[in-house]
Structure 1
Amino acid sequence: MSRHCMIPGPAGNLEAMIDDSNEGSWVIFCHPHPLYGGSMFDAVLDTVEKAVAPLNLSTLRFNFRGVGSSDGEHDHGDGEVNDLVSVVEWLRQAKSPSAVSVAGYSFGSVVASRGVANCNTVSPVVLIAPPTSSMTLANDLMVPVRVIVGDADPFVDLPKLRQWQQHQHDAKIVTIPGADHFFGDQHQALQSATSAIFSEAPRL
């Protein structure tokens, strides 16, 4: 059962929902772009959380600065990276997890990649529909990275993404045929892909 809480962040408190019914490993979710209505209550994140629920993983969703009841203002990704780092550190101190993974969707995937670069004990990181046509992922990540994209997503530059893949320590791309950026009627495929990734995760 999820419950509401506030987590201290670099720009004030961050609104979060946590489900700590399972002990041990945790997954932190990063939501899509706040300026386009993104928040922790996103349908894609709902699907991803459903995928990990049967795997005995505890979950944490949070709103970036300036979203919902979180303090602060949108910072175009820079401050949001600091938000994520603060959430990871809070989780480590408050819950003593055996392992922590991060999953980000769209804008949240970019934040996740950059945040994990500053928290290299997080593993794996799952990037869902990273908008590589307009934003840049962190490079040279030393943790396992799993990417889920639809082959009909206009916001994902697949050739650019595959080139980026070559510069990572351990990166794999899962492509869902026919899926767009919002996964439309492909949420079951997204759920299956996510479940497979976390079932095989090296540290979870």
Structure 2
Amino acid sequence: MPAVIFPGPEGRLEGRFQPAPRPRAPVAMILHPHSQSGGTMNDQIVQRLYKTFVNRGFAVLRFNFRGVGRSQGSFDNGIGELNDAAAALDWVQTIHPEAQVTWVAGVSYGALIGMQLLMRRPEIRGFISVAPPANMYDFSFLAPCPASGIFVQGAADTVVQPAAVEKLVEKLRTQKHITIHHDVIPRANHFFENEQAELMRSIDNYLDFRLDPACPIR
């Protein structure tokens, strides 16, 4: 899990990068929760997502948005953080240019940034959005959503209303050519404090499905 420093739009960005174990290995990038609420790349769920993709043979990057840890700059209300994510993906692609498939996974605010990045980067073929803040931000930019993925939500989340995520999922499911999965974890709050095992089981089951060579979703 090598520590890395790479250039971002406002100076250096700090991350942890697991290089690709083989040629043409897929890439995954993990985005952390809101930095103004203490979110960093060392968030427990971010670290577990990172390890999950490493164990599946991906080249994987998690990093701190601007103003977090050793990353330079200051919080920029999502605009700068999206640019950070784009710069981070550019950097991974310079290290691992032969990758043909990219995934993005985000937690809470990181899920919002991940879905925005999805709209910019056609090489992203799959997404994992954990507790996306659908009642706090306008997700209408997903018109249309260009890739299939999964939303995972806690049933007892008092920060992100489960009904708001359900409404977003229902809207995206009306689109053709993509498949949206949606798992609700019973008793889980916004941080999945006592249900992280259930959260990761849901994500692992979805990745088993998507990464199966026989999977119809591409």
TM-score by length of 2: 0.86
Matched, 1:20 2:19: yes
Please list the CA deviations of residues 140-190 of structure 1 after superposition, one character each: whole Å capped at 9, or x if unmatched: 211112111111111222332222223434322111111111101111111
Partner amino acid, structure 1, of 2:169:
Q
The match for 1:171 is: 180
What's the secondary structure of 2:210's corresponding residue?
A: coil
- Cα displacement (A) at 1:21: 5.1
Question: 1:91 & 1:54 partners in 2: Cα distance?
Answer: 18
1:49-90 deviations in Å (ceiling 9; x for gaps): 333343222211010011111111100111101111111122
Cα RMSD over matched residues?
Answer: 1.8
| 8 Å CA contact retained: 1:52, 1:194 | no
Amino acid at match of 1:189: E
Is the CA contact (8 Å cut-off) linking 2:109 and 2:133 kept in structure 1?
yes
Match in the other structure for 1:136:
138
* Distance in structure 2 (CA, Å) of the matches to 1:155 and 1:3: 33
For 1:105, which of 98, 104, 107 is the aligned residue? 107
1:134 and 1:200 mapped to 2: Cα distance? 30
Task: Summarize the Cα distance change of 1:195–1:52 in structure 2 as closer, same or farther, 3 Å threshold.
Answer: farther
For 2:162, the equivalent position in structure 1 comes to 158
Residue 98 of structure 1, CA deviation: 2.9
Identity over the aligned pairs, expressed in percent?
25
Instruction: Note the residue ranges of structure 1 that are not aligned, 5 or more in a row.
Output: none
State the match for 1:43 in structure 2.
44
**Cα pair 1:139 1:167 within 8 Å, conserved:** no
> Deviations 1:103-145 (Å, cap 9, x if unpaired)?
0001100111111111122020110011222223342211112
Instruction: Name 1:78's counterpart in structure 2.
Output: 79
CA distance in 1, matches of 2:7, 2:57: 26
* Cα distance in 2 for residues equivalent to 1:71 and 1:77: 15
Specify the SS of the correspondent of 1:164. helix
Amino acid in the other structure paired with 1:163: K
Amino acid at match of 2:49: V
Q: What is the SS of the residue equivalent to 1:201?
A: helix
2:175 alignment partner in structure 1: none
The CA deviation at 1:15 is 0.6
The 5 A counterparts of 1:178-189 are 178-189=187-198
Q: Could you tell me which residue of structure 2 aligns to residue 198 of structure 1?
A: 207
Is there any run of 5+ residues in structure 2 with no aligned partner, and where?
Answer: 173-177, 212-216
Aligned residue type for 1:60: L
Assess if the C-alpha contact under 8 Å between 2:28 and 2:102 holds in 1.
yes
Question: Would the aligned equivalents of 1:50 and 1:191 in 2 still touch at CA under 8 Å?
Answer: no
Shift of 1:191: 1.3
Larger Rg: 2
